[in-house]
Structure 1
């Protein structure tokens, strides 16, 4: 789902509400999937391949950590280079205009920790738009074309990635 960060005011609302109804982030027993990875990307770069519905964190030349993801549905996909500009645990979520248009009954704000909150246990906002890499409370959506442009991850995977990357990390989204 789209994160709705067209204004600093909305970003501040997320920060202010991120402690509401906090849910603890649990580490999964599964270990990250380390794979061979080819491409001209520096270590520390996140690469999202929407066609594969996979996110790669390049850890060294030729190797990456791979995670399954949900990506933008038809008409909501995008590609480009951006950076992580914020990190939030248990974020509240305010649906952007396109989501409100499609689902008028959705609340104006869904508190962090709510099972209805599409952000899951953590979110990392992306500069230059209204998107984020975030967890989900709907794990069966992972692997599909399901969002309004955000990159959706299993809660245990967003927790792992969140701990591995800082604000400022480069994110490359490619079809």
Structure 2
């Protein structure tokens, strides 16, 4: 009986290892030190060059998330605030996106696998931008968007619960 038990234990371990390699966790948030006194607790700080978003907490700490940022000439810096929060939002391509991809439909319904907004979105006051999830998790950590901030779906769900409308957002180079 002992060799059978060890065989099954080894087989279960192998299955778990393979499953974690094939389906890596998208949730990449981590608690980190954050001593930049310019930003008050509750502020979202985007560091474009790092491709990281920080939610500033009390006690010189922040929650850090991996993100995708705007591609060359599309990323933005400056101040904004969250104007609205949506779960499974519909998406309508901007005029610029439509010029580059004329085959896109006028609207992609929320929850559709080809909806680039993922599971949730928070619109920003500085134009046609949002912080949103993505159905393309391999884009995280890259400069690929038209200016929106993309997060893994698990991460946008986490951040979505932690912030409110009017939360300040500061994007740095």
Q: TM-score range by the shorter chain?
A: 0.7 to 0.9
1:157 maps to which of 149, 155, 158: 155
Residue deviations 1:53-78 (CA, integer Å, cap 9, x gap): 00000011411000000000011011
Q: Which contiguous aligned blocks of 4+ residues in structure 1 show a shift greater than 3 angstroms?
A: 28-32
What is aligned with 2:69? 71
Given that residues 28 and 65 in structure 2 are in contact (C-alpha distance below 8 angstroms), is that contact kept between their aligned partners in structure 1? no
What is aligned with 1:34? 31
Shift of 1:30: 5.4
Q: Which runs of 5+ in 2 are unaligned?
A: 1-24
1:120 aligns with 2:118: yes
Name the CA distance, whole Å, in 1 between partners of 2:50 and 2:73.
17
The two structures, once aligned, show a CA RMSD in angstroms of 1.4
Q: Which runs of 5+ in 1 are unaligned?
A: 1-27
Alignment: residue pair count: 148
If asked which structure has higher relative contact order (CA below 8 Å, sep 6+), I would say: 1
Q: TM-score, normalised by structure 2?
A: 0.83
Shift of 1:105: 0.3
